[in-house]
Amino acid sequence: MTALTSVRLAAPAAEWSAEVHREEQALAGVAGELRDLYDRSPAATPFQTHEWLSSWWGCYGGRGRLRLVLVRYRGRLVAAAPLMAGTCYGFPVLVPLGGEQSDFTDFLLDPAYADGAVRHLTRALLEECGGCAIDLREVRPGSVAHLVAAQWPRRTWQTPSSVCLELTATGIDDVLGRLPRRTAGKTRAKLRKIDVRGITVERAPAEGAAEAVHKLLDLHTLQWQGRPINPEHRRERFRRHLAEAVSGMVRDGRAAVLQYRWDGRLVAADLVLIGHRHVGAYLYGAVPELRACVDVSLMMLREDLALARDYYRLGVSLLRGDEPYKYKWRPDVVRNQRLILGRSASAAAFAGLARTRGYLAVRRHPGEVEHG
């Protein structure tokens, strides 16, 4: 098979088919189908939207590395695994699109076709040549990837990955109701202090989303000036990826950029990704003087909860990271997993390295607080 071909794999029943796309523009070619499948995939997160993946691929992907596995039933797309060829610890592997910029990785699946779709997706992933294993990091409980792992006929490995914290709540009053009376009283006083300042918040429109993202990243850099920051957040490719992805996601109701102004001046911005179940606080920035006079995380949490209520979501995911300040809200703890699906004999050696180094990586947190 050449690097730029679409390969149809044999299926045991005529109504089922599977195909692997390697051509560079494959994601664009099935954009409408992937958007529709995402809407029918309740386990998917915003990191599996076409806008997020295609933007990421355009900024981080490499020629000849795409492996887009699609499963169809009577021509309708019912499952998808957006993967790419890569190298980890010196081993050739297949990894999901999205990389370190995605808090969750998974496949897409229409549950109405779950049994057959998972079976054919598993078979297609096994038959696709290249890579000793499929390395799926940051797989949350209940993901489609777990269904594939359950049917995988070869060895699989699972190791703990990042901690994610979630607040199932209808609003800030619901959150405060969980706190001790004294703590809740102090928090309400902080909210009144925010309101007295006259800080306003608005959602950037789709046509202004890219500019809003650039301003957010400028604020984010300013916020961490003189302190450790994720170096990727300073790079132009990350800026381009986020601006492009968020523009489409805001248009489709999959994201919102909240902008906070004080006396007309933009003093903070918060990027919130809108999933099927929760909204996720992905990245924020604020001027230092604002942080000196109000509780910025509380201010943003109240607005994020209001956004979740407006979109009829369960609450707010604080996404990856178990920083101590997040626990004061008494969130639910959700542990992601790293799944390794073996495809050749060398997978065992790769999994041994991954389990050791991956466990250590989970226990090591950077100085930067990544999310709002």
Q: Is the pLDDT of residue 8 over 70?
A: no
Asked if 75 and 58 touch (Cβ cutoff 8 Å), the reply is no
Q: Is the pLDDT of residue 170 over 50?
A: yes
- pLDDT at site 146: 97
CA distances from 203 to 16, 222, 269, 305, 316 (A): 43, 21, 10, 14, 17
Same domain, yes or no: 298 and 229: yes
Query: How many C-beta atoms surround the C-beta of residue 205 within 10 A?
Result: 11
Of 73, 71, 54, give the one whose Cα is nearest residue 19.
71
Is 349 within a domain?
A: no
Band of residue 372 on the pLDDT scale cut at 50, 70, 90:
very low
Is 276 within a domain?
A: yes
| Angle at alpha carbon of residue 272, lines to 267 and 275, rounded to 5° | 170
Token pair 């993967």 in the structure block, residue: 83
Is 158 within a domain?
A: no
Q: By mean pLDDT, which of 5-19, 137-151, 211-225 is the weakest?
A: 5-19
Say how many residues make up the chain.
372
Strand 133-139 relative to strand 91-96: parallel, antiparallel, unpaired?
A: parallel
- pLDDT at site 35: 98
Supply the mean pLDDT for the chain. Answer: 90
Residue 296 structural domain: 165-333
Is 350 within a domain?
A: no
The sign one gets for the Cα dihedral 339, 117, 121, 248 is negative
- Provide the 3-class DSSP secondary structure of residue 63: coil
Same domain, yes or no: 170 and 145: no
| Angle at alpha carbon of residue 80, lines to 74 and 84, rounded to 5° | 140
**How many whole angstroms separate alpha carbon 199 and alpha carbon 218?**
20
Same domain, yes or no: 329 and 278: yes
**pLDDT tens-digit readout, 292-338:** 899 999 999 999 999 999 999 999 999 998 888 889 999 999 999 99
The CATH number assigned to the domain holding 67 equals: 3.40.630.30
Query: Which positions ≥6 away from 183 have C-beta within 8 Å?
Result: 328
Same domain, yes or no: 104 and 219: no
Same domain, yes or no: 117 and 263: no
Tell me how far the alpha carbon of residue 147 is from its chain's centroid.
19
Same domain, yes or no: 172 and 316: yes
Query: Which positions ≥6 away from 182 have C-beta within 8 Å?
Result: none
Number of domains, the chain: 2
Same domain, yes or no: 149 and 207: no
Same domain, yes or no: 122 and 183: no
Is 56 within a domain?
A: yes
Same domain, yes or no: 117 and 13: yes
Same domain, yes or no: 147 and 196: no
The mean pLDDT of 36-46, rounded to a whole number, is 98
- pLDDT at site 369: 35
Task: Quote the pTM value.
Answer: 0.91
Is 347 within a domain?
A: no
Q: Give the percent of the chain with pLDDT over 70.
A: 92
Is 360 within a domain?
A: no
Same domain, yes or no: 327 and 214: yes
Is 328 within a domain?
A: yes
Band of residue 289 on the pLDDT scale cut at 50, 70, 90:
very high
Domain end point (choices 102, 119, 153): 153
Burial 131-165 (b: 16+ CB within 10 A, else e): bbbbbbbbbbeebbbbbbbeebeeebbebebbbbb
Asked if 300 and 284 touch (Cβ cutoff 8 Å), the reply is yes
Same domain, yes or no: 308 and 244: yes
Band of residue 49 on the pLDDT scale cut at 50, 70, 90:
very high
**pLDDT tens-digit readout, 104-144:** 999 999 999 999 999 999 999 998 877 899 999 999 999 99
